[in-house]
Every structure is written in C-alpha cells, then in structure tokens.
Amino acid sequence: MARRLTPWRWVVLGLAALYFLVPLAASVIFTVDVPGQGVSFDAYTKILSADGFLSSLLLSLELAVATIAAVLLLMVPAVVALRLGAPRLRPVVEVVCSLPLVVPPIAFVAGIATVLKWGPEHLSQTPLFETFVVIQNQNFPVVLVLAYVVMALPFVYRALDAGLRAIDVRTLVEAARSCGASWPQALLQAVLPNLRGALLNASFLTLALVLGEFTVSHLLGYAPFAVWIYNVGGEQAQMSVAVSVLSLLVTWALLLALAGAGGGRNRTASSRG
C-alpha cells in the first residue's frame, strides 16, 4: 500500500509546488522585466529609498511586537489555568477563541468604527473620552493592537494548546510548587521553558498576521506596511510587487528558521533521552 501511494505523493507535491511557485516566478519576472530596457533590478534597489517604506514597516513591526506581547500575556496564563483548574471549560474557550474566524473582517472593522464614532459623542464629559483619543493616535494606533489581538486568538490558542498537550503541565507545576516556587515562578521557570516551541509558533503566526493585515487598518485610516504596499501599487506597480515578493521570501525564511530550530531542539532532546 505504501509503495502504491508514493507516486501519488510526488504528484500532489509537484502540483502544490506549481501552484505556489508559478505565481511567484511570474511576479519576479514582472518586477525585473522592463519593456524596452530588458532586465532591470531598479524595482528592488529603490525600495529602501521609497517614500513611506521605512515608516510603514517600522509601524507594522511595532504593532506586531505589541500584539505578540499582549496576546501571549493574555493567553498563556489562561490556557495553563484552563488545563490545571477548569478543563470542562475548554470547549467554551475554544469556541470563543475561534469566533474571529467566523466574523468577516469587514463586519469586525465596521463594529470598531461604530464604537470609535459613538465614544466621543457620548463620553465627551467623562475620562473615557481621553482614552478613545489616545488609542487612535496616528503614530501608534493602539486600536489596531486591540483588533489584532482578537484576530490572532484562534492561531495563538491552537499553538499553545498543542504545546500544552505535549507536556505534563500538572506534574511540572506540582514539582515547582513542592520546591517552594510561587505560582508565577512555576509558570515562568517550569512551564514556559517547555512551551518554547509553542510560543515561537504563536509569535510567528501573529507576526505574519500583523504584517499582512489590510482590511482593518485601511478602513480605520491607518497606513502600516500592507496599506503602504497597496498605495504604492497604484503608482509604481513593479515596486509594489517587488516588496510583496521580498515580504513573502522573508516570511518563508522565518518559517524555515523556526522549523529548523524546533527540529534541532527535538533531536537534542531525543538524543539525551
């Protein structure tokens, strides 16, 4: 049976490679083929000097770091407490964390925009008015961080849940507590080191989400990296595609590095065992 399936595996792998590589190759050709000039790499060399490139990229990276920190601070204690103290609530939490996959982004951002418009009108005489103003700061829109945290919940929950399934959390916590560690110390020194792979997976998925998110940021009037690529595409199509290709290659490189690091740790642990 295995011998019969092997050729079909190669066929499926080849079709998948064509599906991903052919559009990528067409994009690369489009960026370097200049009509009347031949091959030119000006679309890539002009990226760093393009207006708004560095500012939009830095804004997206800052939003990504803030989102990763916020979602991990929210979800790591929650999933650990869920597994230790309330395992019956796991289906409820799983459904709640999966809701962002069900709600369309356009409906999600429409609700956010409605609340942001409603707040200043009804809360102008309260301290909450300043909060609504601060979270909409153009230099660092906290409202995008809050939106990205909600959007990242399904991916972060799945990554952390898979990591917790691979270890005996209760034994680790009980051992740490028996040695005199407090609950925060048990979480930081006993549980988190064993969740390193899951934390890296969750962080990478959140980073990819923030760098590629367009709908929420564009409709709320902000210009992170994905919106900048869209705006450049209307004026300089080749540069826009070149930036997209580089972003995709960098994302793949990060994914391969993460997979290699995780595989290296697993091989080391197996050899020690």
The model's pLDDT over 10-33, given as tens digits with 9 standing for 90+, comes to: 888 888 888 888 988 888 888 888
C-alpha to C-alpha distance for 155 and 205, rounded to whole angstroms: 7
Tokens of 263: 């595989």
Task: Please enumerate, as own/partner, the contacts of 76-82 that have beta carbons within 8 Å and a separation of 24 or more.
Answer: 76/160, 76/187, 76/192, 76/195, 76/199, 77/187, 79/157, 79/160, 79/161, 79/164, 80/164, 80/169, 80/173, 80/187, 80/191
Alpha carbon distances (Å) from 30 to 34, 234, 241, 246: 8, 15, 8, 14
pLDDT band at 249; cut points 50, 70, 90: confident
Residue 9 lies in a domain: no
Residue 35 lies in a domain: no
Name the domain count of the chain: 1
Q: Which helix (H) or strand (E) holds 15?
A: helix 2-32
Q: Is residue 148 predicted with pLDDT exceeding 70?
A: yes
Which residue range forms the structural domain that includes residue 109? 50-259
Residue 244 lies in a domain: yes
Per-residue pLDDT tens over the stretch 72-116:
999 998 888 888 877 788 888 888 889 998 888 889 998 888 888
Which residue(s) pair with 39 in the sheet?
33
Per-residue pLDDT tens over the stretch 132-143:
788 888 889 999
> Residue 60's domain is classified under what CATH number?
1.10.3720.10
End-to-end CA gap in the chain: 33
Residue 219 lies in a domain: yes
Residue 236 lies in a domain: yes
Q: Helix H segments across 86-212?
A: 90-102, 105-122, 128-134, 142-165, 169-178, 183-186, 196-212
Question: Three-class SS string for 16-85?
Answer: HHHHHHHHHHHHHHHHHEECCCEECCHHHHCCCCCCCHHHHHHHHHHHHHHHHHHHHHHHHHHHHHHHHH
Residue type (1 letter), 61: L
Residue 132 lies in a domain: yes
The per-residue pLDDT for 44 is 80
Residue 12 lies in a domain: no
CB 135 within 8 A of CB 142: yes
Residue 215 lies in a domain: yes
C-alpha to C-alpha distance for 121 and 100, rounded to whole angstroms: 28
Which residue(s) pair with 34 in the sheet?
38
